[in-house]
Amino acid sequence: MSADRPTAGRTVVSARAIEKIVRAVTAHEFGVDVKSVAADLNDEAGRLDLAVRTPIRVVSIRRAQDDPRSIERSGGSVLARAGRSEQAIVDQVGSLTGSTVSRLAVRLTGAEIKQERRVR
């Protein structure tokens, strides 16, 4: 073996590692703690079939009533944000793992109220 020649090898990413990546990306997209996100992975002919369960971070009802633009500033309606987040999850998981995501199912399990700080 020569020191200047790379050694041929193989890199395998475990299902557990991919699951952690999926959970981290999902948590980031929905603005929640990674511990509150669950993910199931299935191999579909070499592609990833994903199902995630996560809460979503939202502004409080009082804040939305007092300042209707707060919803827009937080990223829009829950449905609009979920739609954008789905595509971002597919893209980021694919980019980070090198895998193709064939399907993603997102189940929103709750709403985490975003506590806004007042500027003084």
Say what the pLDDT of residue 24 is. Answer: 98
Say what the pLDDT of residue 54 is. Answer: 97
Distance between CA atoms of 99 and 63, rounded to whole angstroms? 40
- 117 lies in some domain: no
- 3 lies in some domain: no
Question: Which 3 state secondary structure label does DSSP give 109?
Answer: strand
The model carries a pTM of 0.81
Say what the pLDDT of residue 70 is. Answer: 82
- 98 lies in some domain: yes
- 85 lies in some domain: yes
**How many domains is the chain built from?**
1
Q: Catalogue the E-assigned strands of the chain.
A: 38-44, 47-59, 101-114
- 2 lies in some domain: no
Bridge partners of residue 76, in order along the sequence: none
pLDDT tens string for the chain (120 positions)?
556 777 777 777 788 999 999 999 999 999 999 999 999 999 988 899 999 999 998 888 888 888 888 888 888 888 999 999 999 999 999 999 999 999 999 999 999 887 766 565
**Residue-number span of the structural domain to which 25 is assigned:** 15-112
Instruction: Report the CATH number at residue 31.
Output: 3.30.70
